[in-house]
Amino acid sequence: MQIQCPSCHTKLQLGQPKPGRYKPTCKKCGNPFLVSISGDDPPAVRVEKVVQADGGRAKESGSNQKTVAEGAASRTKAALDQTIEQTAPQSIRQPDQSASPRPTTSASVSRAVAPVGRAAPPDDDGLDATSYSAGKDDSDGFDEGITAAPSRLGGYRIIRMLGRGAMGAVYQAKQISLDRDVALKTIRGRLAENPSSLARFTREAYAAAQLSHHNVVQIYDFGEDDGQHFFSMEWVRGGSLGDLVREKGSIDPKLAATYILQAARGLQFAHRSGMIHRDVKPANLLLSEDGVVKVADLGLVKVPDQVETEWSGGDLSGDEPAVAGLQSGTQVTMQGTAVGTPAYMAPEQSADASSVDHRADIYSLGCSLFYLLAGRSPYSGSLVSEVIEQHARAPLPNLAEINSRVPEPLCRIVAHAMAKRPADRYASLAEMIGDLQSFLGVESMTGFSPSSDQADRWEKIAGSYSKSQTLTRLSGTLLITLAAVSILITMVSPFISLAAILVGPTFFLAACVVAIVMAATNGKSAVAYQVRRWYETLSWLEIAAGLFASVVVLLVTLATGLWIGALVGLLFGAVVGAAYHFGITATAAKSGSESMEQARRFLRDLRLEGADENGIRMFLARYAGKGWQTIYEALFGYDALVETRQRLSTDSSFQGPTDARSIRDRVCQWLRLKTQSNREAKNREKLAKLEQNSLISQGVRESDAREQAWQMASAIMETAQIAVEQTASDDKVIAEAKRQRIKAMLADARSGRYKRTRDRFAPVKFALSGFTRLLVGCLLLAAFAFAAKSSGLLSEEMVSSVRRGDLQSLPGDATTDALGGSTSVWSVGIAGCLLCLSAFVSGWRMTPFAFVATVVILFGASFGIPDIAVPGIGQAKAWMVAAAAGVIVYLPGILIGEEKR
């Protein structure tokens, strides 16, 4: 467990101390400090400076001694930049839009937390030494401490804690299944203990997770592990715009306008989806290494008309110190509550954050632009209430006097966005985006018109990269060749030795797996990524079934003496796969590295000029030539390539290839469909569980709550997928239309009028699924192994004859009574293999064909299928004819059996 010295921020290692209060001394600065350790499991640790009897801090060594007044001033400055959540007095009502509202005079301020997706500076680890609040804490007095982080949560491995507040903690974590960094937020305290609040919170988080935009930090997932609720978010490599200003001072006006323009596009997307951020500030605007600005904390939003007013757990307004919430957390808005950051908060938001609209975000965005241009926030004061009062009544400082390099048009944009009355601001972000684009000289809001120089430069870069990837175009041909060689080996091997029959299949499998895995280590394999995503959605039952099938196949291979051929195939396949990686994949990546670096710099330059991201991507695809897909995937990833293909396939003016007919594309599409289906089922189950607990806590009977919860979960998922109507030009009209649709659907779900009929035949379909066929096939293979062993087919003499290729000594009439009748042992093995292979066809429609085929293979001879004389070969026994007939029965099931989505 690590703690920090509150004076010099040096990291200190804490062993396993007993609960109590201690006064150690920092080894680096020599200053004493207090450590309080709770008796919880895990213990909560609180670190604070030593306070003298006269109220001042303990003296610090040398010239670093601070006065009480200086310390208070620094704490006030920190408070102004942190998120607050406070309950406004009852006298404050919905502010009149025609007049400036009177702000509240107290606020609860959270501990500083490193922005989502950003590693905190190593000297402070993302934590501030001081925390102030006007609310009551629910953490037993240890709200400011550093708790021991769990090692794992769900499918995530915790790397380190970024911060902690009354709502929970923020961690940097690694998603094990996809091997990617994420920001993980946990929920605790009142919110986690109140089922209704937790269900409402999860609805908002799920709605935010559906926001997929270039300029919005993506929420990936939500879940629960041993009672600990959490959700994960995109990890953005880079820093915040606030960090940039603290490091370099005020930003060049054109660059500042570009950054805010990107943030405005992300917020506009959220507004059109019916969401309001309520805490826009430089610390929540993250700048990636690629020059993309992403709006963080869109989990801390208000989804209009979904917010309920009930709350339990005590009054939130009090005089005891507490942590109000995470800087990057998601909080439930209550009527009469101010949520936001004082230095950037709209006047009306200080009175009642639950009633604000999208224009509050416009004000905060204007404040953020002011900060970037001036190097400081618009207003300052010794008290938080002072700053709030200035936002409501003081005139806007003259930006041109603070920074003479700021052009007048940009000053007017800031002033317009920061108008005191909401009615005097931009009516929508579309208007503000238009003014920013006009200032930057960007022609279109939704497109990008390149200059001839830009087009020529990109064509040259794309052509150079395309030439460097010539070898990768051989992948399809090489895969077909590999499959043909494997089939040929499989057909020839029985005439050499039956023990070599698995050489061909294992050779093909090993070559593909090794090539994919080695490419995945460099992040270059779309198939590996899709497999990981699919694996993440599997249930433990499905994973157990897969392991059981693998063990059965391994045991059968060992029992039948075929393991030597399988081992030879695996070794040669691994060599071929490695040769493909180093000879083609790695070579192409190395030869194209220079062109790719040029492409990334070119892309960053376009972004810094203020061009729309969608417009940029369309330009890059259109001007990259016939081989556009290769460089596009390298820049943006396979998922972005699939999305752009779909868009361009409907554009008659685009002449480049948009088809996805390769084997890789078909495999990835199949995996994407499987993943989507599994994830939807899991999300519905998690949402229904939370809604059921909420309904039961409100007095609904468990049987009724179960059905209502399922309907609520279905409604939540359906409302989250409602398409944003783009025909109107007014963001307010667009958002309002979507809100009304969402409101109506959720109201119907609560009242019972919303009905989504459950599939009554779901248990039957599951019983007939590929999952069941796989289990039955494995059982038949196990029966084949035991029957072959008991009938002498696996005797040492017989195995030796087979290895020599002496098939004449192989008894073709060996039978078993294990299935209730005289059945050929070979029929049992063939039926088991075919059933296992049929599991790759997921639909239940395949099962009737598989059932009939299996019966024919196993009992065809008993039903009267005769031996048949094959010219040039000899007599084909009845079980062989039955097996051939069974394969024919399988064929229509393969064609129509796959489940349609």
Tell me the residue type at 416.
H
Backbone dihedral angles phi then psi of residue 604, each to the nearest 5 degrees? -65, -40
CB 76 within 8 A of CB 58: no
The strands making up 228-234's β-sheet, listed across from edge to edge, are 152-153, 156-164, 169-175, 180-187, 228-234, 219-225
- β-strand 219-225 against 169-175: which pairing, if any? unpaired
What does DSSP assign to residue 312?
Answer: -
Lookup: tokens for 114: 């490193």
Active-site entry in 221, 279, 297, 361: 279
Residue 731 designated active-site: no
Residue 457, SS3 per DSSP: helix
Residue 724, CA distances (Å) to 261, 269, 384, 728, 742 in order:
21, 9, 38, 10, 12
Lookup: tokens for 674: 């499987």
Lookup: tokens for 533: 């995503």
How far apart, in whole angstroms, are the C-alpha atoms of residue 170 and residue 190?
17
Residue 366, CA distances (Å) to 339, 360, 425, 494, 677 in order:
18, 10, 10, 76, 42
How far apart, in whole angstroms, are the C-alpha atoms of residue 356 and residue 362?
11
CB 684 within 8 A of CB 714: yes
Backbone dihedral angles phi then psi of residue 735, each to the nearest 5 degrees? -65, -40
Tell me the residue type at 96.
D
How far apart, in whole angstroms, are the C-alpha atoms of residue 665 and residue 895?
19
How far apart, in whole angstroms, are the C-alpha atoms of residue 886 and residue 857?
6
How far apart, in whole angstroms, are the C-alpha atoms of residue 264 and residue 358?
11
How far apart, in whole angstroms, are the C-alpha atoms of residue 850 and residue 846?
6
Residue 285, H or E segment: strand 285-288
- β-strand 228-234 against 238-240: which pairing, if any? unpaired
Backbone dihedral angles phi then psi of residue 234, each to the nearest 5 degrees? -60, 140
How far apart, in whole angstroms, are the C-alpha atoms of residue 435 and residue 429?
10
Structure-token match 């993506």, residue found? 218
How far apart, in whole angstroms, are the C-alpha atoms of residue 189 and residue 229?
11
Alpha helices by DSSP H, 394-474: 399-402, 408-417, 429-440, 452-468
Alpha helices by DSSP H, 150-279: 190-193, 195-209, 241-248, 253-272
User: Catalytic site residues?
Assistant: 279
